Every structure is written in structure tokens, then in C-alpha cells.
Amino acid sequence: MELPPAAPRAAAPSPLVAKALAARDSHAGALARRDVIGVVDFAAHSAAARFTLYNVAGGKATASYLVAHGQGSDPAHSGFLAKFSNVEGSNASSRGAFLVGDSYIGKYGRSRRLVGLDPDNDLAMQRAIVMHGADYVAPELVAAHGKIGRSYGCFSVERHLIGEVMDRLPKGTLLFADRLAA
């Protein structure tokens, strides 16, 4: 008897996505929605689209964006994140799991608050670490300078794409950021 061909297996998630999924599971009680997550791969250079949205059920990426890291994380402005910090006034990016919070209109226009869920980022609200659009994040800057600008620790994306990012990663979802060793 001939067996039917096996269904194709989904590719295993990258180690960073696997870590983000584990964080989603460990923080399940804080999340209103678990069907989509945002993952920021701070091991990648700032010229790369390193902020990726994932459809968890489908097991695949649905969109990727340029995203800034903090000035304090890259003092030499090399385009690579050199260090994380959760210290107020550090102007650095923090790692770990963030609960995507309320939207508001602020200095950079439409923005979304982030609540740090881990000891490495639990001061995110106090530090005003949020998602927002910024003119210093643009493909034109990559073309001209080989990198984008830096934030004060916020997850800054292209100004004209912030609405799309906020719609695709709504309140109650998980944003996970880290840099894994190569």
C-alpha cells in the first residue's frame, strides 16, 4: 500500500523568534492577543529591515521594517547596537518582552506606549520608551549614509509607516527585542 506524500513541514523558527515565542508564552497573562508578535533583531545592522511582524498561527513573517536603536546603545554611531541598558537617561535600547500599550499623539505624532515585562526593560514606561515614526529612519538615509539615525531608546520606524505598524501590532500584543550571539 502506497502512503500519501507527507505534508511539507514548516521551517523551524530562528533562535530569536523561538525566544520571542517563549516570551509570549511566559507572559501570556499580560497579553490580550497572541496571534501576532513583533520581533526586533538588534544583531542586524540598522540598514537592515530588522523589525519583523510574525503571524504566529501561520508561522511566518508578514512584514519587516527599518527600526532605530538608541544613541546610548551605539555611541560610535556604527549602525550596530553595542550594548543594552534599562537605566533612565542612558538613551539606550532595552532588550526583552514588551507589552504593546495604548496609542497617543505625542512629539513624533502617532505613537504607542510599551510596557516592559522583564527585569531588563521594566523601566520602559518610566523612560518613555515607545514606538513612533521618525524622519531619521528612512531608506534614503541608508542609501546616503549606510545607516539610519538613532533614537533615545525608542523603537522608531519610518514616519509614514507608523500607522501601518501600529495597526498590524495592536494594543495587547508582544514586541520582543534582543541580540543573540552569532
Residue at 36 is within a domain? yes
Look at residue 157 and tell me whether its pLDDT is greater than 70: yes
Residue at 5 is within a domain? no
Look at residue 7 and tell me whether its pLDDT is greater than 90: no
- How large a percentage of the chain has pLDDT more than 90? 91
Return the pLDDT at 27. Answer: 98
Return the pLDDT at 30. Answer: 97
Residue at 9 is within a domain? no
Residue corresponding to grid cell 531619521: 136
CATH number at residue 40: 2.40.440.10
List own/partner pairs for 25-28 with CB under 8 A and 24 or more apart. Answer: 26/97, 27/97, 27/99, 27/117, 27/174
Return the pLDDT at 181. Answer: 72
Residue at 159 is within a domain? yes
Return the pLDDT at 12. Answer: 72
* Beta partners for residue 113, in sequence order: 130
Q: What value does the mean pLDDT take over residues 115-124? A: 98
Residue at 7 is within a domain? no
Q: Which domain holds residue 92?
A: 15-178
Average pLDDT, the chain: 94
Query: How many CA atoms within 13 Å lie on the side-chain side of 77?
Result: 9
Return the pLDDT at 162. Answer: 98
Residue at 166 is within a domain? yes
Return the pLDDT at 1. Answer: 53
- Residue 2: partners with Cβ closer than 8 Å, 6 or more residues away: none
Domains contained in the chain, number: 1
Question: Which grid cell is 77?
Answer: 554611531
Q: What value does the mean pLDDT take over residues 83-108? A: 97
Look at residue 182 and tell me whether its pLDDT is greater than 70: no
Residue at 51 is within a domain? yes
Residue at 155 is within a domain? yes
